[in-house]
Structure 1
Amino acid sequence: MTDTPPPAAAPTVHTVSRWKRVLLWPLVRLVRLWGMSLRFETTSEDVRNCAKCDVPVAFVLWHNRLFLASEIHRRYRPHRPLYALISASKDGALLTAFFAMVGGMRAVRGSTSNFGREAATALVQAQREGHDIGITPDGPRGPCYDLKPGAVIVPRRTGAPVLLIGGEFTSAWQLKSWDRFYLPLPFSRVRLHCELIENERLADRDAAIELIRSRLLALNPDRG
């Protein structure tokens, strides 16, 4: 008699308890005010590409510029919910609760290491329902500025344009993390770049990956 292996355990999606949400609230309030204090400098083309694009887009930005994501969406695309892939881990649960409380970002839980396929399908569904999606192509653990092929999967399947986000900081702290994460100083100026790539330019996967990587690097010059 052949032994039948037991079914694989379903992946665990961790959540945050109510009391932890209460503890998060002071930090959420601080980050909201911090983001609102930033002075974004844009061109008319940046605004047209971001605020006036009336179709769902795939936001793409490097992981070390992630601090800007919620504030950009709040200012320029508040009419359209933003969905992003966040890990099913306990750390991911905290991030999910945090972004939900800050506002403007909703989570699809998963990762490339356990049930990324299901998560990608959920992102495709969210975009087909008319929502924006957010992608950090070098996240969640890097290497920094190493664009993973999975970053183009969802927009290629949905036909949505890709909105590349760049941020240049006049004054910022830079953490000693794997991505050298940027924290712009409160009330500082941020030169915001928004470049729209039409979906037709994503037809060839390898060419699309190189295009997005090269343009993101150009839009996000690091300080010396």
Structure 2
Amino acid sequence: MAKLFSKEFKRKLLVWIVPPLIYALIKLLFFTCKKKFYRPQNGSATPSIYVLWHGEILMAAAAYTYYTKRVEADTIVSSHFDGELAARLMQLFGGGTIRGSSSKGGASVLRQALKSLQKGRDIALTPDGPRGPRHSVADGAAVLAMMKKVPIITMNCNPTSYWSMKSWDRFCIPKPFCTIEFYFGNPFYVHELSLEEAKSLIQKRLLEHAV
């Protein structure tokens, strides 16, 4: 009986229950909300690195699929339990995942992400995830873009009405029947910049339409 209520069992139960519920919520919101897409230049024909703030991630998979008309993306998610939930959710959308972060398993994550880009797949990540600080930019996206000389595309989800969680990232949940504005930035390259210049440019582009 003790094993039935063990921490491991509870986590397995949550992985089985929570992602399908979130998937259904995302589909419901995407269906009920009015959507506006701002994409001056569609860069989806080239393998790219998609970046967005951790607090705006809820609608990202649905927006990416709508933008690219495909699901050929591998999302970098943490090796923590919340990353396990995110990995299962991405599987429901048909995408792949790479487990790890810049602080844990960084070298392995980098190798896997480079292989994905080489295969023509996109990489999606939150430069301020998984633990913040909010709207900070870690090295990952810039290093990948510099090594493979691939473009970076920023994504923002900006609802006209939403709930903001009391978490470090102020996680944003759009309210049903609101208008969600999705901003996809023009693709840009950073391989001729220094690492700090590249990170600063990513942050600047993402802050232009941040919630």
RMSD value, Cα: 2.2
Residue pair 2:90, 2:96 contacting (<8 A) in 1 also: yes
Residue pair 2:19, 2:86 contacting (<8 A) in 1 also: no
Residue pair 1:78, 1:104 contacting (<8 A) in 2 also: no
How many pairs are equivalent? 201
Percent identity of paired positions between Structure 1 and Structure 2 = 26
Does 2:51 match 1:60? yes
Task: Please tell me the residue identity of whatever aligns with 2:182.
Answer: L
CA offsets, 1:66-87, max 9 Å, x none? 0121111121113251111112
1:123 matched residue in structure 2: 113
1:8 matched residue in structure 2: none
Provide the rounded CA distance (Å) in 2 between the counterparts of 1:47 and 1:36.
24
Q: Secondary structure at the match of 2:74?
A: strand
1:49 matched residue in structure 2: 42
CA offsets, 1:180-217, max 9 Å, x none? 11101122111222112332565322211111111211
Task: Please tell me the residue identity of whatever aligns with 2:82.
Answer: D
Structure showing greater radius of gyration is: 1
Q: Give TM-score, length-normalised by structure 2.
A: 0.85
Deviation at 1:122, TM superposition (A): 0.2
The gaps in structure 2 that reach 5 residues or longer are: 1-10
Q: Give TM-score, length-normalised by structure 1.
A: 0.80
CA offsets, 1:31-86, max 9 Å, x none? 3222333322134xx06325xx3111111111111012111112111325111111
Within 5 A, what are the aligned runs for 1:1-224? 20-21=15-16, 24-43=19-38, 46=39, 48-49=41-42, 53-101=44-92, 103-199=93-189, 203-220=193-210, 222=211
Task: Please tell me the residue identity of whatever aligns with 1:105.
Answer: G
Residue pair 1:73, 1:104 contacting (<8 A) in 2 also: no
Range with bigger deviation, 90-99 or 61-70: 90-99
Task: Please tell me the residue identity of whatever aligns with 2:26.
Answer: V
